[in-house]
Amino acid sequence: MRNEIILKVYRFDPTSGKPPTYKRYSVPITERETVLDALLYVKEHQDATLSLRFSCRMAVCGSCGMLIDGLPRLACYTQISELDTDEIEVRPMSNYPIVRDLVVDMSGFFEKHRSVMPWLIRRDVREQNQPTKQYLQSDEQLLEYLQFSYCIKCGLCYAACPVVTAMDEFLGPQALAQLYRYIRDSRDEGATERLKSAGEFNGVWRCHFAGSCSQVCPKGVDPALAIQLLRRRTLFMK
């Protein structure tokens, strides 16, 4: 058990006009400490200018995604002991514009999420606004999409996807998984419209099943599985 580790943190201030640098901080650690704890120790005791985004510290809010040792992970969800190194490299997530230090601009990611219409579409809009009955659903119908609705929009899959790195227009694993989640929802009636948009050039066909999204997902959503099942639906158009 180590008592101390080195944090190698990416520092970038766009207002200073200087290129990004790495700064090393020596942090005392205890057992069961996460990378987020270490980063907050740095912010409290060593360098208050370090910027990072975090909130819940328990892998629910999904705001502390960063590249830890080269792989997108939630800082609050990554034990220092599981990394098993003396020097941990912390960088902002790839595939996003960097705002400052470890903070990235996720507006493009959220815009793509919004563009797949992540809400229930009903033919009778008036009835949807003033519902007269419950939308009942069986357990089997629930299991078809439940896994994909566990998404916390942390954006790790988007940072891991090799297609997103190359192609900014690609919707990304998160948005396509949500697209599938709403297609499979038995209460939803917009499947035809959704499948049509999934079949565009920046949609489901750009996925090549590299599986990186599922590898890094902290909630077991498995976006790769959702996209492959979505592709089958897009093939048969139903």
Partner 1 sequence: MRERTLMIMHYLTGLGILVSGTIHVYVVFLTVPANLTAWESTLSFDGFQFAILPVYRNLALALSLEILLICTTYHGLNGLRIILYELFQGRSARTYVKYALFAIGALLLIYGTRTIIIAHSIGGP
Partner 2 sequence: MIITSIRRTSRQNLSKVLTTMLVPSRYTIERWSYTLQRVSGVVVMLYFVAHVIETGYVVGGPGVWYVPPYEVAQRSWETVKASLKDPVFDVGLGIIGLLVTFHTINGVRLTLTHFGYTLKRPHRPEFPYEVRSFTNFQRGLFWLSISFAVFSMIYALDTLLGVFRA
**Per rule CB under 8 A, is residue 168 in the interface with partner 2?**
yes
235 lines the binding site for partner 1 (CB under 8 A):
yes
Does residue number 176 form part of the binding site for partner 1 (CB under 8 A)?
no
Beta strands in 29-119 (DSSP E): 65-68, 71-74, 87-91, 98-100, 103-104
- Verify binding: residue 206, partner 1, rule CB under 8 A: yes
Cβ proximity of 52 and 43 under 8 Å:
yes
Q: How far is Cα 146 from Cα 156, in angstroms, rounded to an integer?
A: 20
Which residue is it, tokens 């990378």? Answer: 35
Cα–Cα distance list, 208 to 129, 172, 232 (Å): 39, 12, 14
Q: Stretches 5-13, 22-30, 127-135, 140-148: which one binds partner 2 (CB under 8 A)?
A: 140-148
Options 173, 203, 218, 223; binder of partner 1; rule CB under 8 A: 203
Using CB under 8 A as the binding rule, whether residue 200 contacts partner 1 is answered as yes
Residue 234 main-chain phi, psi, to 5 deg = -65, -35
Q: Is 136 exposed, middle or buried (0-12, 13-18, 19+ CB in 10 A)?
A: exposed
Q: Which partner in partner 1, partner 2, none is near 199 (CB below 5 to 8 A by kind)?
A: partner 1
Sole binder of partner 2 in the list 160, 176, 183, 195 (CB under 8 A): 160
Q: Which stretch binds partner 2 (CB under 8 A): 1-9, 38-46, 122-130, 147-155?
A: 147-155
Site string for partner 1, 123-162 (x = CB under 8 A): ----------------------------------------
Among candidates 40, 23, 29, 156, which has minimal Cα distance to 81? 29
Q: Determine if 168 is a binding residue for partner 1 (CB under 8 A).
A: yes
Tell me the C-alpha distance between 221 and 158, whole Å. 13
Q: Contact positions toward partner 2, by CB under 8 A?
A: 69-71, 94-97, 105, 107-109, 111-112, 115-116, 143-148, 150, 160, 162, 164-166, 168-169, 197, 200, 202, 208-212, 214-215, 217, 219-222, 224-226, 228-229, 231-232, 235
